[in-house]
Copies of this chain bind each other. A is one copy, B any other.
Amino acid sequence: MFSAINASVNRCGRFTADELDLFNSLLVPKTVRKRQVLLREGEICDFEAYIVRGCLRTYYIDESGSEVILQFAVEDWWVSDVCSFHERTPSQLYIDAVEDSELFTLNPERKERLLAAVPQFERVFRLMLQRHVGALEQRLIRTMAKPAEARYLDFIRRYPQIAARVPQQDIAAYLGMTPEFLSKIRRRLAQRKDW
């Protein structure tokens, strides 16, 4: 049950069995169903969730009601609203499940206890944050530097496993284009198969 998450944190530093046991004892397992919402705009995010199985999305809803998807998260990733969680401020984001998923969640209080007991865990979370920064920078570059078709091709090459399991309209919302236009791009690509 804990093998995946333990292997994951062990890649960030060496931990003893006792330390991992403590870590595991602080995690709260959670099962969510497809479309279930974990965080809404205005709420304070009280979890960092490790994904054991499934897929979640983090998104923003603008004035006109359309979704801007910031991130898809699948197995072995963490999801949270970093800012809201750490600063205890209302979130601007929504988080929900793209499919039925199993998570381990850590709330602020338990995270504190973990860090107090095993300070080396600071490193695990710092590495998580760094990876998150890296991912966001990549995403920003790719979003800004390229036209829609190139963004789509880039996406399906980079994340084939995600592209296969999320609805097409969500991919459009992630790539910053309308679902209609993505559909047209796909038609063009299917005709000239030169890619």
Chain A residues near B (Cβ < 8 Å): 60, 62, 66, 68, 70, 82-83, 86-87, 92-93, 119, 122, 125-126, 129-130, 132-134, 136-137, 139-141, 143-146, 176
Complex alpha-carbon distance, A134 and B86, angstroms: 11
Complex alpha-carbon distance, A62 and B133, angstroms: 20
CB contacts (< 8 Å) of A126 on chain B: these are: 122, 125-126, 129
Complex alpha-carbon distance, A70 and B143, angstroms: 11
CB contacts (< 8 Å) of A125 on chain B: these are: 126
CB contacts (< 8 Å) of A93 on chain B: these are: 137
A83 with B134: CB separation less than 8 A: yes
**Secondary structure at chain A's binding surface: helix, strand, loop or mixed?**
helix
10 additional A-B pairs beyond A68-B145, A119-B119, A126-B126, beta carbons within 8 Å, are A60-B141, A62-B145, A68-B144, A70-B141, A82-B134, A86-B130, A122-B126, A133-B133, A140-B140, A140-B143
Identify 12 residue pairs between A and B in the complex whose beta-carbon atoms are under 8 Å apart, listed by A's number: A62-B141, A62-B146, A82-B134, A83-B134, A83-B137, A86-B130, A92-B141, A129-B129, A132-B133, A136-B137, A139-B140, A144-B176
Q: Which residue of B lies closest to A126 (CB)?
A: B126
